[in-house]
């Protein structure tokens, strides 16, 4: 019988605020990550500080916020009221301390639990806060939550407000890099939700006049809108609605008190239900909910008194009450949508007619596909049993009880050797593997029928659980892992085409990545370096004292499981697949996957020459 571990008074510890945050950072900022994902912790740190500045604006103080990110240093300056000078240290270093506990100072705030800036402080190697008010300024500095400087208030002629500078601690975030694209998207959401606010990021100004209408226009090009955006506003609520001609599933952007609730919640559920009920009542038809919502692109923002979120990162609303004497969240949203959307449709019969045609088209497609879908599901079950294409993990994105659900990943790879190496190296708790058999079909310009008739696509869709949209997506990170050769690049392109054609929201919402694996291994008897580029190879050679042994990895299957564990573990390098409004999906697919044109031939020849030059140098 195994010896029992002793459990005495010596085992009982009380952690102070900063120790607990540093020991359990995931509780406060979600996953750590390296900056390749928009929900990585380094962006949550920015958001937590920005939330305080946004709350100042909401309370009528300060119309401009300045954000600067240079390498690893972040500086955020607002022109709000400024922290009371005698409480500057307490506000950023004492738990359950802050102005937001006083509803008179902050009525509909995001950061109600007094944790945000404390978490940033504790997880930063350098943290500085400066408050300016009443013609005086106070400054405090910290390292890993420990105070290093506490200046007494001094006279100042600077404009009032608060300035925070921090550097994420490399003991917590071992290797990270800020991506400006993710920060810009966050900033744009803030200005869409706060019309009249200007945020200056690294010298560039962001401002919105039309709120959520601007947000939708940013996310869908005019040529793909079924009709002009329906934009409805009232106190404590704003919505924007249109339909896309170019995508199949639903797309929602939801917010509470300026917080982007990427996982939805009670407000988003109520909004979806309200749209269905209103349209059914308007047409007097009991249309299927999925037919009504198919291809919808919409946004909703609500303001709630003392909102309750399901995690510290505030990505899902749990509140059922609006507060302030208003009805429940569900009733409030339903009544607003019912009244205002119904009025809009009566005043704009052309839009109503387009919606009805879209619903009837969706209904026809659903019925046409019903038989195929049934056979496809049966085939998927049998194939999963016999072919074992999916080697699953224990944690999924929709498993809300697991803290590490945001780490859940599905690696899509090709061939038995590559999938075998990843399977043996992976973390079985959070990493799953889907093995392709040969090259996928070029799905450009094909209907969704092909998703069910093609075994690879059908099984992949079933593995991801995205048949009816992203609501039940099983994995947060979908990682394409192919060889770094021509065939591997082709497979990568075909998979991206599949997602762009049928599930573009996977890419829009930041779920699709390319796995970067090393091109070279450079080693001698004492040291080993894995190099992802020619520059890294040269640098590694210069560091070795003896004669280097250089191996060029041509395929994933050549990398042993013992080595592969380094490339999909803590040191994983992921390159996100990203889109912006200027990128027309139809034009993008037509250029790369359509008929062979002189422009594409020229593009291929020029880029092939670059690759050949690199190979010749090696």
pLDDT digits (tens, 9 = 90+) for 191-247: 999 999 999 999 999 999 999 999 999 888 788 899 999 999 999 999 999 998 877
Residue listed under structure tokens 């991206």? 496
Furthest C-alpha separation in the chain = 81
3-state SS, one letter per residue, for 554-600: CCHHHCCHHHHHHHCCCCCEEEECCCCCCCCHHHHHHHHHCCCCHHH
The closest of 165, 163, 121, 161 to 143, measured between CA atoms, is 121
Segments in 94-211 forming alpha helices (H): 116-122, 180-193
Residues 80, 85, 86, 92, CA torsion sign: positive
If we measure between CA atoms, which residue out of 121, 200, 198 comes closest to residue 166? 121
Q: Specify the pLDDT at position 346.
A: 97
Distance from C-alpha of 523 to C-alpha of 433, rounded to nearest angstrom: 30
Q: What's the pLDDT score for residue 103?
A: 46
Which pLDDT value is given to residue 344?
98
d(CA 65, CA 50): 9
- pLDDT value of position 100: 47
Residue 570, φ and ψ in degrees, nearest 5: -65, -30
Token pair belonging to 472? 């039940």
Q: What is the DSSP string of 365-384?
A: HHHHHHHHHHHHHHHHHHHH
Inter-residue contact 44 to 30 (CB < 8 Å): yes
Task: Please give the model's pTM, rounded to 2 decimal places.
Answer: 0.81
**In whole angstroms, what separates CA 346 from the centre of its chain?**
37
| Backbone dihedral angles phi then psi of residue 96, each to the nearest 5 degrees | 60, 35
286: tokens are: 């009991």
Nearest to 473 by CA among 464, 484, 462: 464
The Cα–Cα gap between 442 and 562 comes to 34
Orientation angle between helical segments 180-193 and 212-219, nearest 10 degrees: 150
| 520 touches 528 (CB < 8 A) | no
Positions of the chain with pLDDT lower than 50, given as ranges: 1-2, 7, 12, 97-106, 111-114, 385-386, 609-618
- For 414-442, b/e burial (b = at least 16 CB within 10 A) is bbeebbbbbbebbbeebbbbbbbeeebbb
Q: Provide the pLDDT for residue 105.
A: 39
Q: Please give the full DSSP string across 513-559, using - where no structure is assigned.
A: EEEE--SEEEE-SS-EEEESSHHHHHHHHHH-SSPPEEEE--SGGGS
pLDDT on residue 172:
93
CA 613, CA 418: separation in Å to the nearest integer? 27
The separation between the first and the last C-alpha atoms of the chain, rounded to the nearest angstrom, is: 59
CB 420 within 8 A of CB 388: no
Give the count of beta carbons closer than 10 Å to the beta carbon of residue 356: 17
- pLDDT for 614 equals 41
pLDDT tens, residue by residue, 578-613: 876 556 666 677 666 777 667 766 666 665 544 434
Looking at the DSSP assignment, which residues form a beta bridge with residue 192? none
Cβ contacts of 143-146, under 8 Å, gap ≥ 24: 144/18, 144/22, 144/169, 144/171, 145/17, 145/18, 145/21, 145/22, 145/93, 145/118, 145/121, 146/18
Say which residues have a Cβ less than 8 Å from residue 9's Cβ, sequence separation at least 6. none
Sorted by where each starts, the structural domains of the chain and their CATH numbers stand as: 17-204 (3.30.565.10), 212-363 (3.30.230.10), 388-517+555-583 (3.40.50.670), 518-552 (no CATH)
């Amino acid at each position: 019988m195994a010896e029992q571990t002793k459990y005495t008074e010596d085992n009982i510890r009380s952690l102070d605020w900063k120790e607990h945050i540093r020991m359990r950072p995931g509780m406060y900022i979600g996953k750590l990550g390296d900056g390749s994902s928009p929900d990585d912790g380094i962006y949550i740190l920015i958001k937590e500080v920005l939330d305080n500045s946004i709350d100042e604006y909401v309370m009528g103080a300060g119309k401009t916020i300045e954000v600067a990110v240079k390498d690893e240093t972040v500086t955020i300056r607002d022109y709000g009221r400024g922290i009371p000078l005698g409480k500057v240290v307490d506000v950023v270093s004492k738990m359950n301390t802050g102005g937001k506990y006083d509803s008179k100072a902050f009525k509909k705030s995001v950061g109600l639990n007094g944790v945000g800036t404390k978490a940033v402080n504790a997880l930063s190697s350098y943290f500085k806060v400066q408050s300016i008010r009443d013609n005086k300024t106070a400054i405090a500095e910290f390292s890993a939550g420990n105070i290093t400087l506490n200046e007494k208030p001094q006279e100042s002629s600077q404009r009032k407000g608060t300035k925070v500078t921090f550097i994420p601690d490399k003991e917590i975030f071992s290797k990270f890099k800020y991506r400006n694209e993710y920060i810009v998207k966050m900033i744009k959401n803030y200005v869409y939700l706060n019309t009249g606010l200007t945020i200056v990021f690294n010298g560039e100004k962001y401002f919105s006049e039309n709120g959520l209408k601007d947000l939708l226009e940013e996310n869908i090009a005019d040529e793909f809108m079924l009709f002009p955006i329906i934009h409805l506003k009232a106190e404590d609520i704003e919505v924007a609605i249109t339909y896309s001609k170019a995508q199949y599933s639903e797309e929602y952007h939801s917010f509470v008190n300026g917080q982007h609730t990427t996982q939805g919640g009670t407000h988003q559920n109520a909004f979806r239900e309200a749209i269905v009920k209103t349209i059914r009542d308007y047409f007097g038809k009991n249309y299927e909910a999925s037919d009504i919502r198919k291809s919808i692109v919409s946004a909703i923002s609500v303001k709630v008194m003392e909102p309750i979120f399901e995690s510290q990162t505030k990505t899902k609303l749990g509140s059922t009450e609006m507060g302030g004497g208003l009805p429940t969240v569900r009733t409030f949203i339903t009544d607003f949508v019912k009244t205002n959307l119904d009025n809009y449709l009566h005043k704009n019969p052309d839009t109503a007619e387009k919606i009805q045609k879209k619903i009837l088209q969706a209904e026809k497609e659903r019925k046409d596909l019903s038989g195929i879908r049934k056979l496809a599901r049966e085939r998927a079950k049998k194939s999963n049993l016999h072919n074992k294409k999916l080697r699953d993990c224990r944690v999924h994105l929709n498993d809300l009880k697991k803290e590490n659900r945001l780490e859940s990943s599905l690696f899509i790879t090709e061939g038995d050797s590559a999938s075998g190496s990843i399977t043996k190296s992976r973390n079985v708790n959070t990493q799953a593997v889907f093995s392709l058999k040969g090259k996928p079909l070029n799905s450009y310009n094909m209907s969704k029928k092909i998703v069910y008739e093609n075994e690879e696509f059908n099984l992949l869709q079933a593995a991801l659980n995205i048949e009816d949209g992203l609501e039940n997506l099983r994995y947060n990170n979908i990682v394409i892992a192919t060889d770094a050769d021509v065939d591997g690049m082709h497979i990568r392109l075909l998979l991206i085409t599949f997602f762009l054609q049928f599930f573009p929201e996977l890419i829009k919402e930041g779920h699709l990545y390319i796995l970067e694996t090393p091109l070279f291994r450079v080693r001698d008897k004492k040291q080993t370096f894995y190099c992802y580029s020619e520059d890294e190879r040269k640098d590694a050679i210069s560091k070795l004292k003896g004669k280097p042994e250089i191996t060029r990895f041509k395929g994933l299957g050549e990398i042993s499981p013992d080595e592969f564990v380094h490339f999909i573990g803590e040191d994983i390098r992921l390159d996100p697949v990203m889109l912006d409004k200027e990128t027309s999906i139809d034009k993008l697919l037509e250029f790369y996957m359509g008929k062979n044109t002189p422009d594409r031939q020229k593009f291929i020849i020029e880029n092939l020459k670059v690759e050949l030059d690199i190979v010749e140098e090696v």
